[in-house]
């Protein structure tokens, strides 16, 4: 007769789970011991449960499949929270096994007692207590299906004594749904969408992560109505490549002509985006298409709300959309986009190969050049978001993930751990801030322990650079943002990770090249300029005043890497156009 803990592990195996990230401990021991005795599933020892949850989040994000993490009762549970918030807000299927104090002690203020069903409410779709053996295996299957079906976190609260009990029901088998069906919009919404696209004089498409797997359809629509295409940060990896209509990104990290294209079109169509910065949206003449009907209209009033997957919606509407003849608006925006990027590059790139401390944008552009065609980049919250958004060139095979919705620091390294476990043969690059790396520094030991060939590229500016920028923009003197210089290469070496510290721009290329080629884990400690700051293209007058007040050495706006090449190339599509540059 198996135990409840064994039964749980068995159900996870049946759902295709190959590993569980976590830290062992008391109430969790029967579960971890069952993993030890079960073929085909591994226990991945991390240094902090938070990192385990991030690793599971990254695995689920990249593969689309269920990933699992675990924490022991009390503090083991509370550590999980940051990573679970990240997974939940990103809508990726993660199951957390949150073990709990003995059932007979619940409600007595016992050692390490918390109330996990309350604790995880906000960062899960489903959080239930397994209080007796007879609930299994059904409860585990429901938790799994909730995570997959609703897209987000499920938490199964498992008191240690229940995990030790004998199973009361056979485990049996039940097929889980691992791939979700697509949402086809109602006919009347499709007809209305076509009608509005046909009657609008000018159209702009603004795309989020929901355009994944719909690249061809989005390009076909843009070609039909001659619309510029802008994107959010999360949409970039899915839509910016091979895109003759690209006008850049919107939002605080934005660049190019996206803002103007979205504001000047007669009709703006939001495709698979829940872009949160409503002040960057025109708030009028907008249609939104989303597979989740609850998101429709929550950022802007809508002329039309369409409930459907982007791909399914566009396939349905395209036969009804007439070819527009006038492409003046598109051409105008493409020119403006190229001009904007051109101006930025001129203002910015002078003498960058000689600038000490190393300019982070220079390092990011070299990294982009050297990284593999199918590399996975995990990006720390902070200025690394800006460097990735502006310098990492998507191609449909590369992936770029970060804590783009929860926005927590220290995500990149533990995300990279999950990414590397999910894809052992693929190049995984953690773009880490020194603040982020310092926050979950113990995970260097996880990388070393499992000999994960992760490449940790640290933008070490001895500063919480993003916050320094925020303070400058609001006219505050920067305070609490700078810290003493730390030699992360020395720390990494002591942890058993191959490492190199780079202080001169002339060494950036060779240093990155060598680290990327290293067969095991490697860290590149890039000593970068804390004053290389970037500002959004549409900051307000008050922000600008504050900025001017405080900033003495700020470079307005950032560089734009290979995007300029693409913008120039796209101009060649304009009939009879004079080329820029």
- Residue ranges that bind ligand TPP, judged by CB under 6 A: 380-384, 407-409, 433-436, 459, 461, 463-467
CA distance 375 to 353: 25
204 or 408: whose CB is closer to ligand TPP? Answer: 408
Nearest to 81 by CA among 45, 114, 130, 109: 114
130 or 364: whose CB is closer to ligand TPP? Answer: 364
CA distance 97 to 471: 40
72 or 408: whose CB is closer to ligand TPP? Answer: 408
CB of 429: closest distance to ligand TPP in angstroms? 15
258 or 384: whose CB is closer to ligand TPP? Answer: 384
CB of 106: closest distance to ligand TPP in angstroms? 30
Nearest to 8 by CA among 138, 114, 186: 138
7 or 381: whose CB is closer to ligand TPP? Answer: 381
Nearest residue to the partner ligand TPP, using Cβ? 433
CB of 90: closest distance to ligand TPP in angstroms? 15
CA distance 371 to 379: 14
Per-residue HEC secondary structure of 170-227 comes to CCCCCCCCCCCCCCCCCHHHHHHHHHHHHHCCCEEEEECHHHCCCHHHHHHHHHHHCC
CB of 508: closest distance to ligand TPP in angstroms? 16
CB of 4: closest distance to ligand TPP in angstroms? 35
CB of 23: closest distance to ligand TPP in angstroms? 19
19 or 406: whose CB is closer to ligand TPP? Answer: 406
CB of 500: closest distance to ligand TPP in angstroms? 19
CA of 243: how far to CAs of 236, 260, 334, 389, in Å?
11, 18, 11, 16
Report the DSSP beta bridge partners of residue 155.
Answer: 96, 127
Task: For strands 376-379 and 304-307, give the pairing.
Answer: unpaired
DSSP string, 395-424: -SS-EEEE-TTT--TT-HHHHHHHHHHH-T
CA distance 538 to 32: 51
464 or 523: whose CB is closer to ligand TPP? Answer: 464
387 or 421: whose CB is closer to ligand TPP? Answer: 387
CB of 262: closest distance to ligand TPP in angstroms? 26
376 or 384: whose CB is closer to ligand TPP? Answer: 384
The sign of the CA dihedral 342, 343, 344, 345 is positive
CA distance 87 to 227: 33
The sign of the CA dihedral 565, 567, 573, 576 is negative
How far, rounded to the nearest angstrom, does the alpha carbon of residue 405 sit from its chain's CA centroid?
7
3-state SS assignment for residue 281: coil
CA distance 554 to 531: 6
CB of 385: closest distance to ligand TPP in angstroms? 8
CB of 456: closest distance to ligand TPP in angstroms? 13
245 or 459: whose CB is closer to ligand TPP? Answer: 459
């Amino acid at each position: 007769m198996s135990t409840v803990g064994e039964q749980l592990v068995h159900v996870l195996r049946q759902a295709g789970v190959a590993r569980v990230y976590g830290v062992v401990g008391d109430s969790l021991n029967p579960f971890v011991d069952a993993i030890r005795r079960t073929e085909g599933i591994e226990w991945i020892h991390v240094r902090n449960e938070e990192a385990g949850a991030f690793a599971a989040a990254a695995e689920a994000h990249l593969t689309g499949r269920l990933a699992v993490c675990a924490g022991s009762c009390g503090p083991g549970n509370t550590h999980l929270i940051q990573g679970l918030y990240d997974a939940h807000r990103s809508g990726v299927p993660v199951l957390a096994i949150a073990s709990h104090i003995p059932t007979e002690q619940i409600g007595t203020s016992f050692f390490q007692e918390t109330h996990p069903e309350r604790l995880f409410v906000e960062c899960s779709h489903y959080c239930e207590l397994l209080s007796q053996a007879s609930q299994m295996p059904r409860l585990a299957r429901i938790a799994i299906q909730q995570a997959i079906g609703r897209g987000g976190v499920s938490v199964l609260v498992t008191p240690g004594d229940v995990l030790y009990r004998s199973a009361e029901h056979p485990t049996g088998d039940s097929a889980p749904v691992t791939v979700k069906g697509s949402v086809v919009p109602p006919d009347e919404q499709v007809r209305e969408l076509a009608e509005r696209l046909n009657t609008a004089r000018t159209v702009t498409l603004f795309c989020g992560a929901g355009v994944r797997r719909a690249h061809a359809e989005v390009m076909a629509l843009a070609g039909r109505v001659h619309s510029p295409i802008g994107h959010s940060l999360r949409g970039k990896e899915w839509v910016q490549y091979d895109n003759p209509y690209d006008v850049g990104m919107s939002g605080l990290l934005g660049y190019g002509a996206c803002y103007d294209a979205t504001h000047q079109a007669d009709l703006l169509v939001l495709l698979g985006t829940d872009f949160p910065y409503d002040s960057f949206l025109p708030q009028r003449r907008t249609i939104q298409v989303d597979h989740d009907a609850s998101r429709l209209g929550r950022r802007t009033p809508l002329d039309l709300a369409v409930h459907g997957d982007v791909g399914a919606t566009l396939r349905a509407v395209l036969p009804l959309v007439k070819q527009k003849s006038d492409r003046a608006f598109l051409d105008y925006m493409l020119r403006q986009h190229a001009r904007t990027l051109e101006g930025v590059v001129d203002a910015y790139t002078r003498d960058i190969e000689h600038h000490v401390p190393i300019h982070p944008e220079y390092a990011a552009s070299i990294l982009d050049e050297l990284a593999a065609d199918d590399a996975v980049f995990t990006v720390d919250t902070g200025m690394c978001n800006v460097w990735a958004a502006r310098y990492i060139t998507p191609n449909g095979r590369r992936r770029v993930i970060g804590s783009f919705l929860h926005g927590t620091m220290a995500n990149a390294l533990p995300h990279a751990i999950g990414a590397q476990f999910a894809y052992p043969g693929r190049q995984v690059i953690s773009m880490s801030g020194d603040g982020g790396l310092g926050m979950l520094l113990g995970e260097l030991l996880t990388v070393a322990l499992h000999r994960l060939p992760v490449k940790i590229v640290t933008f070490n500016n001895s500063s919480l650079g993003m916050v320094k920028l925020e303070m400058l923009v609001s006219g505050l003197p920067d305070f609490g943002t700078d810290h003493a210089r730390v030699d992360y290469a020395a720390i990494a070496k002591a942890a058993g990770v191959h490492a190199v510290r780079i202080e001169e721009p002339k060494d950036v290329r060779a240093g990155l090249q060598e680290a990327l080629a290293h067969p095991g884990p490697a860290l590149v400690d890039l000593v970068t300029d804390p004053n290389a700051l970037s500002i959004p293209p549409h900051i307000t007058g008050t922000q600008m005043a504050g900025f001017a007040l405080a900033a003495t050495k700020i470079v307005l706006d950032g560089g734009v890497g290979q995007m300029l090449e693409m913008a120039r190339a796209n101009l060649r599509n304009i009939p009879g156009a004079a080329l820029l540059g």
